[in-house]
Amino acid sequence: MGTTGTATTAGPSGAYERRSASDATGCALLGVCAAWTLITSGVHGGRPEGVLLAVLAVAAGYAGGRICGALLPVAAPCAGALAGVGLAAAAPQLSPGPVSAAPLGHTGATAALLILASGAACSAAWAARSPSARLAMRLLAVGIVVAAAVLGSVAGLVACAGILLCSLATALMRRRVLGLAGLALATAVVTGLTWAIADDVLPEGLSASLEGQLDGNRVQLWQDALSLTGQEPALGVGPGRFADASPTVAEQLLTDGKPHSAPLQQAAEQGLVGVVLLAAVFCWLLYALYRSPRSTQVVLSAGAALTALAAVASVGNALSLTAVTTGAGYLAGIATARPLGDAPEQVRPPGSVPWTAGGG
């Protein structure tokens, strides 16, 4: 009996320790990102305010999501989904610079906000306990797919439909680690393709097909970013200074001065270290989801949305809007929060055997 009692007591404690370590890692990573931004800005000059605001937005959104997810595990993501759709309708007015009308549609803020809204709605559906509430949340997710079509965001339409299908498919998954590993691999593939297009190393037919889905200047901007990375691989040209150093931007009359790819912008402005830090933050979010006490379905629904956001950010200007970075942190916070109604003994490391009074 003594051994059983010890195992029962130690289990939740171990889970709390792992979550605390995950939270501490996230705080440290965000702090390093802010520090590196100030270092690169001090060396080459620049405007670090935008990156610092994004770091603060992720941290604030994550903290807010943890609080709201603990208090209102269904209402909080539902409210976030509705807010995301409302902001998506106004995204062209909220985003600086001209609105892109490439074959993919709005690959920036509009698609990103719809993606986060879809992930929040799917997470709310799995968090709901009554069949009627779950059905209502899934209808909301379907409505977001329709909204993406109405707003003309092909990227948002495809991503939101994919998130909904992935969320439904999670009903068949017992272990989240395989799902999260697949999401990480998908992000790496999209980022690698973006880098390969910029470096012009793909086969001619495949390269032409992929470039055909992008607007005319985007690949030139990516090539400028890659060229600047080669010139300053360690520190970059300085945060916010891509527009000052890019020949393509200098030739354009209407431009927002960004390369429309988060990894390439990090590489150009903050060097390869900046890219590593950006990847580390994304990996931390996936790790936090892995350690989340929420159900596998909630975790993978949020993970699918964050992966889709990362893909859109690799080929678009998705992370320039503060609402997007805040929303990403908010969704991750909700998916990693432990609802206050859950008993402490229900919190355990993912994939472990539930602790029971009899030791089983």
pLDDT in tens, 228-281: 999 999 999 999 899 888 888 877 756 677 888 999 999 999 999 999 999 999
Rounded to whole angstroms, the Cα distance separating 270 from 131 reads 49
Cβ atoms of 45 and 239 within 8 Å: the answer is no
- 305 occurs within a structural domain: yes
Which pLDDT band, with edges at 50, 70 and 90, does 342 fall under?
Answer: low
152-156, 173-177, 308-312, 344-348: least confidently modelled range? 344-348
| Averaged pLDDT for residues 144-160 | 92
Place of tokens 């037919």: 205
**Mean pLDDT of all residues in 217-228:** 90
Of 182, 167, 175, nearest in space to 124 by CA: 167
Mean pLDDT, the chain, integer: 85
Neighbours of 248 (CB within 10 A): 18
Question: CA–CA separation, 347 vs 122, rounded Å?
Answer: 22
How many domains in the chain? 1
Higher pLDDT, 250 or 76: 76
Examine residue 100 and state whether it is found in any structural domain, yes or no: yes
Residue with tokens 């006490």: 293
Which is more confident, 213 or 30? 30
Tell me the pLDDT tens digit for each residue of 309-319. Answer: 999 999 888 88
Task: Say what the pLDDT of residue 109 is.
Answer: 84
Q: What is the CB neighbour count within 10 angstroms for residue 72? A: 18
Give the pLDDT band (50/70/90) at residue 150.
very high
275 lies in some domain: yes
Q: Flag whether 198 is in a domain.
A: yes
Task: Name beta bridge partners: 102.
Answer: 105
Query: Residue 105 pairs with which residues in a beta bridge?
Result: 102
354 belongs to a structural domain: no
* Reported confidence tier of residue 65, pLDDT bands at 50, 70, 90: very high
Give residue 171's identity as a one-letter amino acid code: A
Mean pLDDT across 169-175: 89
Query: The tokens of 204 are what?
Result: 């001619």
Q: Is the residue at 182 inside a domain?
A: yes
Q: Place 18 in a pLDDT band, splitting at 50, 70 and 90.
A: low
What is the predicted pLDDT for the residue at 256?
73
Higher pLDDT, 218 or 133: 133
pLDDT score of 171 more than 70:
yes
Residue 70 has pLDDT above 70, yes or no: yes
- Full domain range(s) for residue 262: 16-340
Say if CB 191 and CB 263 are below 8 A apart.
yes
pLDDT(98) > 60: no
Does 77 map to a domain? yes
Question: Residue 190: inside a domain, yes or no?
Answer: yes
Please tell me the predicted confidence (pLDDT) of residue 260: 87
pLDDT of 141 strictly over 90? yes
In the block, tokens 């960004």 appear at 258
Report, as an integer, the average pLDDT of 138-162.
Answer: 94
SS3 string of the chain?
A: CHHHHHHHHHHHHHHHHHHHHHHHHHHHHHHHHHHHHHHHHHHHCCCCHHHHHHHHHHHHHHHHHHHHHHHCCCHHHHHHHHHHHHHHHHHHHHCCCCCCCECCECCCHHHHHHHHHHHHHHHHHHHCCCHHHHHHHHHHHHHHHHHHHHCCCHHHHHHHHHHHHHHHHHHHCCCHHHHHHHHHHHHHHHHHHHHHHHHCCCCHHHHHHHHCCCCCCHHHHHHHHHHHHHHCCCCCCCCCCHHHHCHHHHHCCCCCCCCCCHHHHHHHHHHHHHHHHHHHHHHHHHHHHHCCCCCHHHHHHHHHHHHHHHHHHHHCCHHHCHHHHHHHHHHHHHHHCCCCCCCHHHCCCCCCCCCCCCCC
Least confident piece of the model among 92-106, 123-137, 161-175: 92-106
97 compared with 266, residue with greater pLDDT: 266
